[in-house]
Chain A
Amino acid sequence: QTVVTQEPSFSVSPGGTVTLTCALSSGSVSTSYYTSWYQQTPGQAPRTLIYSTNTRSSGVPDRFSASILGNKAALTITGAQADDESDYYCVLYMGSGISVFGGGTKLTVL
């Protein structure tokens, strides 16, 4: 059973930089997992931020960036704003049509 782990919560000051990570229960995350990242605010559908590890989706500001950091996927928000306060989810593609979501990170901006 593949488990994808994210920090349950994180806090960042307005204008600050934060890096959220996405790890596999066994093994390292690589570009082969086509990591994608989604932002969700309460009561709203998810919004696609990043796909294929580090490609920003259309309309996503460049203060959102993503990469592989060590053995994890990472989402970095530079110059955090109040409306970045959301839940953030990573998804790894495991092959054979299977995708697995991480548990999500609740980001607080204060």
Chain B
Amino acid sequence: EVQLLESGGGLVQPGGSLRLSCAASGFTFSSYSMSWVRQAPGKGLEWVSSITSSGGSTFYADSVKGRFTISRDNSKNTVYLQMHSLRAEDTALYYCARRGKSMAGTALYYFDFWGQGTLVTVSS
């Protein structure tokens, strides 16, 4: 069974930093791209960042580019989101999501499994 377990959320002051982790199990982690998606309280979903299976390529939404860094450790089956220069508008529930692919390994550009999220609150 695919499981994604996020951790690392909490209360941080504006301008502060936080590192989120997502521990994966139930699948061959090193074969899948991974993503972070967030949801501000009462708002819609927003794609934040993705990383390829090897970690060789990373992608970011404009809203976080230059402040957030996605990385992964395939030996630990974990993907991370390092967040710096946090702003009030970064307050959200952060979901870890697996990128789906076909049986043949072709990228299908969707999110097939989701974690339950970890809450980040940026406030003084």
- Give me the interface of A with B, judged by CB distance under 8 Å: 1, 34, 36, 38, 40, 45-48, 51-52, 57, 87, 89, 91, 93, 96-104
What are the residues of chain A within 8 A of B58 when measuring CB–CB? 97
> B50 touching A99 by the CB < 8 A rule?
yes
**Given A38-B111, A51-B108, A93-B109, A45–B116 Cβ distance below 8 Å?**
yes
Cα(A51)–Cα(B101), bound, Å: 10
> A104 touching B45 by the CB < 8 A rule?
yes
**Given A38-B111, A93-B109, A99–B47 Cβ distance below 8 Å?**
yes
Pick from A1, A48, A101: contact of B112, CB below 8 A. Answer: A48
| B55 at interface, CB cutoff 8 A | no
Closest to B113 in A: A48
Most A C-beta atoms less than 10 A away, residue of B45, B112, B114, B115: B45
Chain B interface size band reads 20 to 34
> A51 touching B110 by the CB < 8 A rule?
yes
Cα(A89)–Cα(B112), bound, Å: 14
**Given A96-B59, A97-B57, A48–B46 Cβ distance below 8 Å?**
no
Report how many A-B pairs have Cβ atoms within 8 Å: 66
Where chain A touches its partner, the secondary structure class is: strand
Pick from B46, B113, B115: contact of A101, CB below 8 A. Answer: B46
- Give me the interface of B with A, judged by CB distance under 8 Å: 35, 37, 44-47, 50, 57-59, 61-62, 95, 100, 108-117
Pick from A46, A52, A100: contact of B114, CB below 8 A. Answer: A46
**Given A45-B115, A97-B59, A91–B108 Cβ distance below 8 Å?**
no
**Given A45-B115, A46-B95, A51-B100, A36–B109 Cβ distance below 8 Å?**
yes
> A98 touching B59 by the CB < 8 A rule?
yes
Cα(A100)–Cα(B46), bound, Å: 7
> B95 touching A91 by the CB < 8 A rule?
no
> B110 touching A36 by the CB < 8 A rule?
yes
Cα(A87)–Cα(B112), bound, Å: 17
What are the residues of chain A within 8 A of B47 when measuring CB–CB? 91, 98-101
